[in-house]
Structure 1
């Protein structure tokens, strides 16, 4: 299977309230709104100093290699409120997901809905055996999203990465294909 081709064939994913689509320069204002906020970026990426930095991030990360990277858009307002991406490893048949959400939109289930769309893509289209995600242990709210996606805590990777000058312990969560199928059959 050509993973890039499959991801590009599924570059738009639609949920009940949200749309996942490729990120473009048109999203710079909405992305800068949360990317310039210390609270939103604390555990995810360097806080953007200006809109030019956001445009560079969009061009160099999202547009240069768009496969599996999505803007999270609220359908009824057309506002881009975050991003989610999937990084599949076809050799091991596992995929990591990562996400960022504008803090003004937390608590509404948008990231859970986006995560379910991406998880379904991983298992139903890409044939993954496992989907996993990690969060800084100081950011337990991210772990709550992972739990709502059916992921189980698998452990803590101690001092797993250095971010913003701090050695971070990362909580690791995963869901297996058979767990996903069982969860999907119960809906």
Structure 2
């Protein structure tokens, strides 16, 4: 299976340890922590290294993390992951993009390609994702790639001393 994907402006590829310092620089941002469920702040270089090492085992469990890289600059700008539940033929998208790259359509472009990968390569029937209810930019990415809001999970996650709700989006083939 080819895990090196591309779009007009992006390369999507597995992370390497050479990416650790770039992941650290991008993810060690309160704005990233605020809009994601699993990235702590502060985010250390060690956090980045542990996260990059983990994917080797993760793929065995159906988790495929991709580095989002600008083609022309060869610059890492974020991550796009698909978590596969093969029994139910569905994949969950999760992503973040460094704050300096927000609002330029990179997450949408990467998500479209990962959905294509999920349907064509992994033979999935459904793709889904969730966004914190106070993160309309993430919901907009889902809507742009054709996902429809399926509902809201109230107080579904507990983070930093508060309960957070998420909107769930999905699309079936």
Q: 1:105 aligns with which of 92, 98, 101?
A: 101
Give the whole-Å Cα distance in 2 for the aligned partners of 1:83 and 1:119: 14
1:94-145, Cα deviation, whole Å (9 max, x unpaired) = 1111001001001111111110111001112222111000011011110000
1:46–1:164 contact (8 Å) kept in structure 2: no
Between structures 1 and 2, the one with greater strand share: 2
- 2:41 corresponds to: 47
2:83–2:92 contact (8 Å) kept in structure 1: yes
| 39-48 or 88-97, which deviates more | 39-48
| 36-45 or 72-81, which deviates more | 36-45
Structure 1 residue 30 and structure 2 residue 22: aligned?
A: yes
Tell me by how many angstroms 1:49 deviates. Answer: 4.0
- 2:12 corresponds to: 20
Q: How does 1:7-156 map to 2 (within 5 A)?
A: 9-44=1-36, 45-59=39-53, 61-66=54-59, 68-156=64-152
1:86–1:98 contact (8 Å) kept in structure 2: yes
SS at structure 2 position matched to 1:127: coil
Which runs of no fewer than 5 residues in structure 2 stay unpaired? Answer: none
Q: CA RMSD in A?
A: 1.4
Tell me by how many angstroms 1:92 deviates. Answer: 1.0
Tell me by how many angstroms 1:165 deviates. Answer: 2.3
**Runs of at least 4 residues off by over 4 Å:** none
Aligned length: 168
Which runs of no fewer than 5 residues in structure 1 stay unpaired? Answer: 1-8, 178-187
2:55–2:64 contact (8 Å) kept in structure 1: no
